[in-house]
Structure 1
Amino acid sequence: MRVVIQRVKSSQVTVNGEIIGKIGRGLNLLVGIANTDTDAEIDWMVRKCLELRLFPDEKDDRWQKSVQEIGGDLLVVSQFTLYGDCSKGRRPSFDRSAAPQSAEDLYNRFVSKLRASSLQVETGQFGAMMQVTIENDGPVTLLLEK
């Protein structure tokens, strides 16, 4: 499982010209599911996304607080292209990406476990062509992998 985690001032996802998910301060999560992922990877990733200290403390600029501690929002967008392999040829291979049905099931479990945190969690639409608007804060962008 791979997640590109971005600290944002705001973020939204649009499908067919309609905003389907929108957040304020928090994290934008682009989520790729591998064909080997299980609930163990989901659980680890949920914990990391919720507990990583990526936000500054009021006293100084050091990253002291997690998205949970600031009561931030989460926008979760499925992104199978995170498993694109560009090492050969001119067209990416997606052999390591999970099959759509399996990926959607694991993605939905990931979202459900994030929602259990009681933070506001918005999502894109699995499998749809989406436009994601991100107002980075920092910018802070990290790649998490398990």
Structure 2
Amino acid sequence: MKAVVQRVSSASVRIDGRVHSEIGKGLVVLLGVERGDTEDMCAEMAHKTVNLRIFEDEHGKMGRSVKDIGGGIIIVSQFTIAGNCKKGLRPDFMNAMNPDTANAYYEKFISLCKGLYDPSKIGTGVFAADMKVGLENDGPVTIILELAPKQ
């Protein structure tokens, strides 16, 4: 399981020309679910995401989480994160989880995040929809979180 987490000043998701979700200061999370991922990994990823300390504290260090600043979160399913470009110039998506299971894990991740943080501050995309994600990256700060299945 992989997540690209971006610290943003603002962000929105548009579907069919309409705003589906929008936030001010907070996080945009692009979540990729891969073959071999488990439901337990959803819980660990949700915990890491809402508690990730990438916002400035009083000392100018990255010491605060999105929860600490009362920011928003937009969570978008992004199967292309599982793309592999090691050979050639066209990515293959053999590592991506099948869509039905990936959607279930995406929904579980959202639910877990809402259980760890104020649900009214969490927006989403729509699984497999054609979305336009707009954001103003703050910093820029972009963190890649990766979890591998436990052997």
Q: TM-score, normalised by structure 1?
A: 0.95
Equivalence for 1:55:
55
C-alpha separation between the residues in 1 aligned to 2:87 and 2:59? Answer: 46
Equivalent residue number for residue 82 of structure 2: 83
Match of 2:102 in 1: 103
CA distance in 2, matches of 1:91, 1:50: 33
The Cα of 1:33 is off from its aligned counterpart by 0.3
- In 1, Cα distance between the equivalents of 2:88 and 2:2? 23
* Residue aligning to 2:26: 26
Give, in angstroms, the shift of residue 89 of structure 1. Answer: 2.8
2:72 match: 73
SS in 2 for 1:6: strand
Q: Give 1:31 shift.
A: 0.5
- Secondary structure of 1:105's aligned partner: helix
Question: CA shift at 1:90, angstroms?
Answer: 3.0
The farther-off stretch of 118-127 and 101-110 is 118-127
Matching residue of 2:127: 126
Task: Give the C-alpha shift of residue 60 in structure 1.
Answer: 2.7
Question: Which residue identity lines up with residue 95 of structure 1 in the other structure?
Answer: M
Q: CA shift at 1:44, angstroms?
A: 0.9
Number of residues of Structure 1 aligned to a counterpart in Structure 2: 145
What's the offset of the Cα at 1:40?
1.5
* Letter paired with 2:40: A
Q: Does 1:138 align with 2:139?
A: yes
Q: Secondary structure at the match of 1:89?
A: coil
Which residue identity does 1:79 align to in structure 2? Q
Counterpart CA distance in 2 for 1:88 and 1:140 is 29
- Bigger CA drift: 8-17 or 87-96? 87-96
Alpha-carbon distance between aligned partners in 2 of 1:61 and 1:133, rounded to the nearest angstrom = 27
Give how far 1:133 is off.
0.4
Amino acid at match of 1:94: F
Note the residue ranges of structure 1 that are not aligned, 5 or more in a row. Answer: none
Consecutive unaligned residues of structure 2, counting only runs of 5 or more, are none
Partner Cα separation in structure 1 for residue 42 and residue 34 of structure 2: 11
Q: Give 1:100 shift.
A: 0.5
User: Which residue number corresponds to residue 42 of structure 2?
Assistant: 42
* TM superposition shift of 1:86: 1.1
After TM superposition, where is structure 1 displaced by more than 3 Å over at least 4 residues in a row? none
In 2, Cα distance between the equivalents of 1:90 and 1:71? 41
